[in-house]
Structure 1
Amino acid sequence: MVTVPEYGVPEYISLRYMDGIEITRYDSDTRRVVPVAQWMKKVDPKILEEQTETSRGLESTVKFYIKLEMIRLNHTEGYRCVQWMFGCELRDDGSTTGYAQLGYEGKDFLVLDPVQLKFIWLTDEAQSAAQTLNGPSLQVGERMQDYLETECINWLRKCIGYGKEALNKRVRPKVKVSDQTVNGVAKLHCQVYGFYPRDVDVKWQKNGIDVPSYEAKHILPNSDGTYQIRVTVEVLVEDREGHSCHVDHASLRHTLIVNLEPKSGSNTVGIVIGVLVVVIAVAAVGFIVWRKRSGKRQTLGFFYALNIACYMALQI
């Protein structure tokens, strides 16, 4: 494997999230799973040791896989990046679901079809890899789906128990509205920040009628575990009066409404948006578990099969 020690970036990084909160971290330098969320420090050390062994097995698999793809695609020089992301969800009604997808060089490569239990190739270059994984003697897709439905869900239930208090907290959002005028068009900004949980509905209205926003609405994390979002609409300057921002969130009993001041002269939003940038070089794995959403049968069955698949493909 090619490393980039001059940048201080581990060759392999594995992160686990729950409801958008990073709960554990593993990398090729420490080779141990360590708790990140405060409440995860209550986890039995034996469980963390089990997760460490699983992560080491996955690290070996991903490293082997990236070597395979470099040979297949004749990428024998430079830096290469594999991103392996999978997760499961436990819904309020008790039903479960999961997903798995793989990226190569920053592009979508393979995705698991949970119905056919096969990996679907998303580029022509990925076809050979998918056919190897889907081979009748390996059936890696079935093993992956089994992992998502058992071990992943069981692990998620444990995490819910450890972090129940933190995950059930409700933090009321703060709201700031402002506007700026550019070439006769008024941009109305509604900045909502400091809220938890993540789900929120923010929209602009005028006289009770929704005003559509054509900008993407991105919910971003804050360093303290809360979230923020900005929703912007464009209106004619002479039509800016009477607008209000409406916020619905689990922490609120009623919709929070903040009116745009009639003669606001603000040209700035007034809130600095913090952006967390995570650099993952060469080989990276994200394990994502969402709300009431993580298990143990055939713990390493999928990873073992994937290693076999990579080995067999190298012999082709």
Structure 2
Amino acid sequence: MQYEGLLLLLPLLLMVRVSGVYSGHSLLYFQTMESTPGYELQEHIEVGYVDGVEITRYSSDVRRLVPVAPWMQKMEPEYWESETHRCRGNEAEMKYHGRIELTRLNKTGGYQYVQWMYGCELRDDGSTRVYYQFGLEGKDFFVLDSDRWILIPLTGQAHITTERLNGPDERLAERNKDYLEDKCFRWMRGYLKIGKEQLERRVPPEVKVSDQTVNGVTKLHCQVYGFYPRDVDVNWMKNGIDVPSYEAKHILPNSDGTYQIRVTAEVAAEDREGHSCHVDHASLDQTLTVKWESQSSSNTLWIVIAVLAGVLAIAAIGFIIWRISSGKKNYAQTSTSDNDGSTSTSNA
């Protein structure tokens, strides 16, 4: 079976972030299971991430957990056996709950998919956070309240579900409390230890600012690329005042393990002056600010450079011609002198 489609669905389940630049470490697992017309839930994939880097993958056709990050190959064979057993249990549980929900919501026909995300986060200030949430068709369905250890419905249709899962027969949140509060953090620290060289590196971003006008609408683009770790804060400002971003901010991976993001603001065509893009990232000692400059200003700069280059070229050519002319003149004078001297000597 092909799982490219399922992998694309994984980010659809929203991962809540605290505002500002993320600083710390996380261990998160994303699961997606899909059904196709005429079949029950059947295709399942689970992907593990440490600090946004994919480390492991499990799929229902292979039915084994395999390493993705090269440094995960350092783990002992016993690890892969026990974690494969855990993934198979997760697959069975997700299929069970997914079938119940899709049947109850009368969504058993056609293409459907169910998503589940769980894990933990340790921040540099010592604070922690745990995640456990469920989604249907790319929309959040319920989420964990880690203060009371119950599941909170996020849609009207989810109330019946959370009542069942919080009830004495299921107690789903409580059954996962030990893993989320303890084991998840212990596993995270172990992964960070063996993947330290890769995970703790810092690669500063490159920033490019440009503008675009289409159908009378002017947009300022701030392209930030080639940075690691993943989390970054990018904002447009005008004379020190925040400017709302016109498009959603999506951080995308690059093939070399770094990331990129483009943040766009819509402005009046005559109001572009004074705008600047501000970038905060763990690799930077201070906020990186790149000002927008009009294309005409840039063109003027290049024109000046071109003129100066032309003047220098003309001067260089003139110098070469002068040297050649001087050389010919000196050569002619030397030849005449030599010829005169030669005749005198002969006559003598």
Shorter-chain TM-score: which interval?
A: 0.7 to 0.9
1:106 to 114, 132, 138: 138
- Letter of the structure 1 residue corresponding to residue 101 of structure 2: E
What percent of counterpart residues are identical? 62
Query: 1:261-280 alignment to 2 at 5 Å?
Result: 261-264=293-296
Shift of 1:39: 1.8
CA-atom RMSD, angstroms? 2.8
- For 2:115, what is the secondary structure of its paired residue? strand
Q: Residue 188 of structure 2 is aligned with which of 148, 156, 159?
A: 156
Cross-structure match for 2:55: 23
Change (3 A) 1:209 1:82: closer
Q: Give 5+ residue unaligned stretches, structure 1.
A: 267-316
CA–CA distance in structure 1, aligned partners of residues 67 and 275 of structure 2:
45
Does the 8 Å CA contact 1:217/1:229 hold for their aligned counterparts?
yes
* Contact 1:101–1:111, Cα closer than 8 Å, also in 2: yes
Match of 1:236 among 268, 282, 301: 268
**Greater RCO between the two (CA within 8 Å, min separation 6)?**
1
For residues 164-243 of structure 1, the aligned pairs below 5 Å read 164-182=196-214, 184-243=216-275
Give the match's secondary structure for 1:150: helix
The aligned residue for residue 115 of structure 2 is 83
Counterpart CA distance in 2 for 1:125 and 1:207 is 46
1:153 & 1:69 partners in 2: Cα distance? 30
Cα distance, 1:123–1:179 mapped onto 2, change above 3 Å: closer
Counterpart code for 1:167: L
Letter in structure 1 aligned against 2:177: Q
Q: CA deviation at 1:76?
A: 4.2
Partner-residue secondary structure (3-state), 1:172: coil
The structure that is helix-richer by fraction is 2
Cα-to-partner distance string for 1:285-309 (whole Å, 9 max, x where unaligned) = xxxxxxxxxxxxxxxxxxxxxxxxx
Change (3 A) 1:161 1:261: same
Contact 1:179 1:188 in 2 (8 A): yes
Unaligned runs of 5+ in 2: 1-32, 299-348
Q: Secondary structure at the match of 1:127?
A: helix
Deviation string 1:218-248 (CA, Å, 9 cap, x unpaired) is 2222232211111222333333234333323
Alpha-carbon distance in structure 1 between the residues aligned to 2:96 and 2:102: 10
Whether 2:172 is the aligned partner of 1:147: answer no
Distance in 2 (alpha carbons) for counterparts of 1:2 and 1:92: 37
- Is contact 1:179–1:264 with CA below 8 Å preserved after alignment? no
Aligned residues: 263
Corresponding position: 1:92 with 2:95: no
Greater Rg, structure 1 or structure 2? 2
* TM-score, reference length from structure 1: 0.73
| AA partner of residue 125 (structure 1) | Q
Q: What is the rounded CA distance, in whole Å, between the counterparts of 1:124 and 1:212 in structure 2? A: 31
Query: 1:25, 1:163 → 2: CA distance?
Result: 17
Normalising by the residue count of structure 2, what TM-score does the alignment of the two structures yield? 0.67
Aligned letter for 2:199?
L
In the alignment, which residue of structure 1 is the partner of 2:338?
none
